[in-house]
Structure 1
Amino acid sequence: MEEPTPRKPPSEIDPRVIMAAERTLLSWMRTGLALMGFGFVVARFGWFLREMASLGGEHAPDPGSSRASLWMGTVLVALGIGVLVGSAARYRHYLRVLHQGDLKLPGPGMGIAVALVLAVLGLVMLASFVSMGLLG
C-alpha cells in the first residue's frame, strides 16, 4: 500500500506557481464577465428589433424574431455565470492539490466546453440573422 503524500508547507511552494494560477483565475473571470456583457448586448438587440417593428417601415423585422435574441443573450449570460463559478472551483481545487504536493495540471475541459458552446451559439445566431434577412 502506498503511503499518502505529505502536505507541503506553504513556504515550500514556489510563489510563482500560485501567482500563475491566480492570473489564470483572473483571465477566466474576464472571460465570464465579457460573456455576460455580450449576452446583455445581444438581449438588448432583441429590444431594438421590437422597437423597429413597432415603428413599421419598409425594412421592419418580424416582432417574433426578437425572442431569439433574448434567448441567445440569456444563454450567454448563463454561460458567463457558469464560467465564473467553474473558474473559482477550478482555482480552489488547484490550490488544494498544490498544497498536497500533487503537481498535476488541470485539464483543458472547461476551455473546450466554453468554446463548443460558443460555436453552437454562434451558428444559431448566424441562422437567426439569415432568417431575419439581416445578412443579405
Structure 2
Amino acid sequence: MSDSSDPRVYLAAERTLLAWLRSGIAVIGLGFLVAKFGMFLRMIRGQVEGGNPLASSIIGIAFILLGTAMIALAAWQHQHFVKEFQGSFPPTRHWPRLSLWISVLVALSGAALAIYLGMSVVGE
C-alpha cells in the first residue's frame, strides 16, 4: 500500500489540524485572560475609576490574534493538503471538511473577540 492510498496519512493530517486548533484555542484563552487581567488588578486595588489597563489589553489582543492566525494558517495548510491528497479517502459517511469548517469558525470568533476587546480599550 503506497502512502497516497493509505487512509492513515489523511487521518494523521486531520489530527494535526485538530492539534493546531486546540493549541490556537489555548493561546486565544490566554490572550483573553491577559487582556482582562489589568481590569482584575484595578478591582483588587480598589480603583473603580481611572487607571489604564492598556498594556495588558494590547498584549492580550496580540495573543488572541496569534491564536487566530495559528488556526487560520493550519486550516489553510490542511485544505491544501486535502486538495493534493490522491488517496482513496475519505470513505462514505465521512465529512472531510468538518474540521476545516470548525477551524474557520473558531478563527473568525477569535478575530471577533480581538475586535471587541480592541473597541473596549479604545472606549475607555
Q: TM-score range by the shorter chain?
A: 0.5 to 0.7
Q: Which amino acid aligns with 1:38?
A: L
Q: CA deviation at 1:99?
A: 2.4
Deviations 1:50-106 (A, max 9, x none): 2234449xxxxx934x21100000011111111111111000111112229xxxxxx
2:67 equivalent among 80, 89, 93: 80
Higher fraction of helix? 2
Which residue number in structure 2 is paired with residue 125 of structure 1?
none
Matched, 1:25 2:12: no
RMSD: 2.2
Gaps of 5+ in 1: 1-11, 57-61, 101-136
Partner of 1:113: none
**Is 1:67 aligned with 2:59?**
no
SS in 2 for 1:99: coil
Q: Percent identity?
A: 39
Higher RCO (CA-CA < 8 Å; seq separation 6+)? 2
TM-score normalised to structure 2 length = 0.60
Q: Which has the larger radius of gyration?
A: 1
Give 1:47's aligned residue. 39
Q: TM-score, normalised by structure 1?
A: 0.55
1:82 aligned partner, one-letter code:
A
The 8 Å contact of residues 50 and 63 in structure 1, kept in 2 or not, is answered as yes
